[in-house]
Amino acid sequence: MRHNYKGRKLGTDFSHTKAMKRSLTAALLYNDRIKTIESRAKEIRPEVDRIITWAKKGDLHSRRLAIARLGGDKELVREIFEKVEQGMFADRNGGYTRIMKLGPRKGDGAPMVIMELCTEPVKKKAKKVAEPKKAEKVQAKAEEKAEEIIEVEAVEEAEEVAEVVEEAAEEAEKAEEKAE
């Protein structure tokens, strides 16, 4: 039974699998790009992301955890922490690795991939201008009709006021004629 042994076996026993993951993780962090089998790349992706997250945290405990995960390679951990301090992954919240498929290997047909660290800055997605929903369309039409009604009422009121002004002007003229 595989009590508490998570992940793929990768065709070897547990200790060899663990050593292989540690070696691949160190190679990726050292070279920024490795060529390997797809299942191995998928298996080391969370470990690489975890180490970079520790580096972003930057405290002593995180540094010691990274050293333990990479098999005591203090120099590599120092390099990673320095890169992150300089802002290498500052704008990226996870997803520090990229896997690009190459196709099957010639000898045994194993799916080969290139796994690399994502170093370019994150581009923010442009917000889509969504079409207005039905309720919004109905509300917009109602507002337009309300504006038209208000305009018509304003015109009618203006005409009434004009009539009253004309009547007042006529009465003023009559009053002047009587006064003369």
Dihedral over Cα of 152, 158, 163, 166: its sign: negative
State whether CATH 3.90.1030.10 applies to domain 14-117.
yes
79-87 contact pairs (CB < 8 A, 24+): 79/29, 79/30, 80/29, 80/51, 80/52, 80/55, 81/55, 83/55, 84/52, 84/55, 84/56, 84/58, 85/58
Instruction: Quote the CA–CA distance of 14 and 26 in Å, as a whole number.
Output: 18
Dihedral over Cα of 18, 54, 79, 29: its sign: positive
pLDDT of 164 over the 70 cut: yes
Q: Is 76 left (phi over 0), alpha (psi -120 to 50) or beta?
A: alpha
pTM over 0.75: no
pLDDT band of residue 172 (cuts 50, 70, 90) is: confident
Query: 90-106: per-residue pLDDT in tens?
Result: 888 888 999 999 999 99
pLDDT of 166: 80
Query: Domain coordinates of the chain in residue numbers?
Result: 14-117, 125-180
